[in-house]
Every structure is written in C-alpha cells, then in structure tokens.
Chains A and B, each alone.
Chain A
Amino acid sequence: MRRESQGFFTKLGNRILWSTAPILTARPVCHLLFIDGASTLRQEISTMHNQVRLQLLGKRVLHELRMLIPLILLMLSCLIPKISRGERTQRYEFFPFSHFPMYSDFDERDYYVYVTDGNDQPIATETVAAVRSTKLKKIFDTELDSIQKKYKKRKDQLSAEQCRPGGDYTVKWLYENASDAAREVFSTGMPLRLYRIYITEEKGELVETPPQLVGEWSPGRKETAQ
C-alpha cells in the first residue's frame, strides 16, 4: 500500500515537475523566486526535455515506420532489379517488379513502326495476327539496345542500315509467333517489311519523317547479322 502510494506521488510529482518545468525555469519566474543557479538548472532541464522529446519522437517514428515496412520492401524490390541487373532495358524488369519507366523522359523526337507486305501495303497486325504495333515497336527497340552499344551511338543516330538486324528480327518474330491463319495471310505478300517513321515538333506543328525501311524478312531468308 505504502509502495503504491509512493509510486503514485512520485509519478504525480514527476508529472507536475515536467509540465511546469518550462514555466519554472523561465527567466522572469526564476528572478521572481530568487532561485540560485537558475540558469544552470534551466539549461539542464531544457536539455533533459529535449532528449526525452527526441527519444519519444524517434520511438514514434520507428513505430509508425514499422507499419510501412511492406511499402518500403515493395519499393526496394521494384528498384533493385534496375540497380543490379544487366545492361539491357529489358533486364531491368523482374515480373512483378518494375521501376515503371513509361513516360519518365519526353524526348524531342520519337518513332513508331509498321509492317507492310512485299508491295509496301501496310498490314493490320492486330487484325491479322493479334499483335499490336506497340509490341512490335518494343521488340524492335529492345534489339536496338544492343545495336547501339555496338556502334556506340544513340538510338536515333543509328542509320536505317545499322538498324536492319533489329528490324529483320522483329518481322521474323511476328511471322514465327503468328497462328497458321495469320501466316497464310502473310505468305500472300512476302517479304514482310518493317518501316520506321520519326515524329518531331517543328514550329508548333508535329512533323513526320519519310518512312525508313529498317527490316525485311521472308521464310528461308537469313536475318542480317548484327
């Protein structure tokens, strides 16, 4: 009983001391109460206060951050493949982790690709082979990653001839991954060709460059070597 009451009064005293310390140690109050060595006492209490506050803040932040451990781990997992993996953009990806590079940089010019038959008539790749031109562009672009390293140039500085291995591979991939029905359609107008068009902005207008032949392939024909 005695111990309990002591505990209670100690706690109460501490609480009163802590809550009134800033007032008691304030300069005008010390002068008023004629506390000896008030300045030192004030500094000591203030330091203790700050330490306790910092400890409490640290504990609170750590406690709250603990709730966000999944968020932090997921973010790190998404970024680590980019930091640690190989040289090609492709290898930055480790499904389901990604650093989501889409639209992270808006270049002054960009390009698109399309496929034609041997008479240069465009082929609706999604209608015929269920492959969107965005996919073909990504495949071609991945191939350009290794070509640009060979020539030590930026992708947009590569000539159409230098891009040929990438383009040949892309149309070959389209044919080889197509269904039998799609292959039949493709076969009526061989060889398959891949054209590239750049888009730039000039004087407030979007301008397209003339189409460049960057790939050509037909069954039995070898790809251009890189």
Chain B
Amino acid sequence: MSAAKTFFKPTPFASWELAVMRMLFALVIWDAIPGAMTSVAVPQPTGLALFFPDMVVGFGALFEAVWFKSLLGVVLVIYALGSAAVITTPLLLLVTVFAGTLTNSQGAITHHSQIVSLVLLAQSGCLVYDLIRHRKWRTGLLGQPVDREIQVAYVTQQAVVAAYMVSAYTKLKESGLDWFVNAARFPIQLKKNTRMAYFNELKEHGSDSSFLANLPAQAEALLIASPGLCRIIIGSGLVLEIAVVLALAGRAWAFFFGVAFVLFHSTISKIMGLDFDFNIYILSIFFILPGVSAAVVRWSRATTKRSR
C-alpha cells in the first residue's frame, strides 16, 4: 500500500545527499569523457553524424587539446558544486553525445557510456523545462534549489529505468517468451566471448590458478551441464528488467533493484569479460546510496535516542 501511495513521487532527498550524488556523478562523467579520439572519419555514420559528419569528426579532434580538457574540468567542477546546472549539464551532454556518436560511427556499436549521456539528457531536459516553466531567469540559471534538484534526481532514476525497460521490451519483441527457453544457449555466447578475449591479447583465460581467472571456464562448464540453471541465472536479468519500474517506488525499492542489478552486472562482467562499469556506478549513486544513507540516518538517530 505504501508503495502505491508513493509510487510516482520523487524521493525527498536531503540537500547533503543531493550534493554527494552530484559530486560522485561528476566523477563518473569525467571517467566517461574519452582521453583522446584517433578516428578521423565516420565510415558508418549513426545519430548526429548522419546530419553533421564533419562537426562530429572535428569535435573528436578537440579531445586531444589540453585547453579543451581543462575547460571541461572547470565545467565539471561547477556542475559538481551545483551552480549554473542549466548551463553546465547541457554542455556536458553535448560533449558526451559527440564523443559517443564518433565512437559508434566507426562501424561497431558500443553501449558502454550510453547510460551516462542518457542520464545527462534527462537532467538537461528537466532543468530546461523547469526554467521555462517558472521563468525565474536569474535564480533559475545560476542557482539550484533543492526542490528542483530532487526532481533532477528523480528523472535520473527514470532515465536508468527507461533504459532497462527498453532492453526488456526489445528482448520480448525479438524472441517473445521463447527468450527464457533459448537462454539455455547462453554458454555459446560465453564461449564466444572467452575466445574473443583470448585473441585480444593472445592470453588464455585461466592461465593462472586464481579463482577469478578460472571463473569463465567453470561457469561455461556448469551452465552447459545444467540448462535449467542457465535459464534461472540469465532469466533473472530479464525479470529484473521487466519489474524495474518498481525502483521508482521509494528508497527501499530503489535499493533492492540497485543491488540486484549491480550483482547481475558484476556476475556477467566477471564471467564474460563485458564492461558494465558506468551502469554499476550510476546504480550505486542514484539507487543504492539513498537506501544506505537513509539506513545510516535512522541508525544514528536510534543510537542518539538510546544514549539520551
């Protein structure tokens, strides 16, 4: 019942929580911005490169310039401090979108840092909408009231939820409920990734005796031997994706889904060598952290009361 009541309401974060989330997310953005981009053309243009190929290529060249990186650093510091968010957030969005478009226009699509840009897009949309709606230009442009920041945190959660829901929709549209049955073929994907990882460095996985190094081989053997287990492990990911909208039902639900997805991504990452770093970071900041902070505050209050 409580979930139904608070389902579509933004979580009332404290200002210190918002500040911590903002600063941690600024670090994530910095990590997502590429150091240098060597691509000098867009042989398979996607996204903005379909319309502005030269601009995308030209933008890629900027990443090597020291002044540009320094400028980005300054913008990120301002973003982290929570000032002029209406200006800094769209700027950072532009940078990550151009970098991602250039990378994805080389003929190989990667979704590695897509979630960061999607979150920045949702944040920018929310901030600009709020500015136009309230028309408080000076305070709206330079300041960042707590109410608006709570709304920004809420749309951030919605952006992450949207990505997972779209992923679930695509799976069900492509394969229907057969997806769960066919999930037993997952070891083929596992083997493929292990072999490709070998050809990256010509180094066999499990060539040393550590548990983690041997994990892909052990997982492959276990999953081939038991298709049922395979369906449960892989299927649990789709179940989480379908139900993820519940993560908007407050801190506890957000914490549950955050932890579940982080565990799922970490497991897949270890056994398949895939990179879900940005998903893990964002889930930790906007889904897990609020739950942890609420628990810590409750515990400290209880301790203070007892000591009195």
Contact = CB atoms under 8 A, between A and B. Distances in A.
A107 interface: yes
B235 to A, nearest CB: 11
Contacts of A139: 106-108
Contacts of A138: 107-109
B107 A127 contact: no
B188 A109 contact: yes
Chain B interface mostly: helix
B106 A67 contact: no
Q: Most chain-B Cβ atoms within 10 A of its Cβ — which of A71, A91, A102, A111? A: A71
Interface string B223-247: 0110000000010000000000100
A106 B200 contact: no
Chain B, interface size category, equals 35 or more
A99 B48 CA distance: 17
A82 B174 CA distance: 12
A199 B111 contact: no
Contacts of A173: 43, 106-107
Contacts of A107: 185, 188
Interface stretch (A4-12, A128-136, A150-158): A128-136
Q: Most chain-B Cβ atoms within 10 A of its Cβ — which of A74, A94, A139, A179? A: A74
Interface string B159-202: 10111011101110111000100111111110111011101111
B224 A90 contact: no
Interface stretch (B68-76, B118-126, B280-288, B289-297): B118-126
B5 to A, nearest CB: 10
B183 to A, nearest CB: 6
B143 interface: no
Contacts of B47: 93-95, 97
Contact of B166 (A75, A124, A179): A75
Given A93-B109, A95-B97, A177 B39 contact: yes
Interface residues of A, number: 63
Contact of A106 (B48, B155, B189): B189
Interface string A84-120: 0000011101111111111111111111101100000
B111 A106 contact: no
Given A99-B170, A103-B189, A179 B108 contact: no
A30 B161 CA distance: 52
Nearest to A137: B196
Contact of A142 (B107, B111, B170, B225): B107
Interface in B16-52: 38-39, 43-44, 46-48, 50
Interface stretch (A19-27, A201-209, A213-221): A201-209
Contact of B111 (A79, A100, A177): A100
B106 A112 contact: no
Q: Most chain-A Cβ atoms within 10 A of its Cβ — which of B189, B199, B202? A: B199
Q: Most chain-B Cβ atoms within 10 A of its Cβ — which of A96, A101, A199, A206? A: A96
A75 B109 contact: no
A135 B197 CA distance: 11
B249 to A, nearest CB: 12
8 contacts: A64-B7, A68-B248, A90-B107, A97-B47, A106-B188, A110-B192, A126-B200, A137-B196
Which 9 A/B pairs are nearest by Cβ-Cβ distance? A138-B108, A96-B117, A126-B200, A67-B8, A74-B162, A100-B167, A139-B107, A114-B199, A106-B182
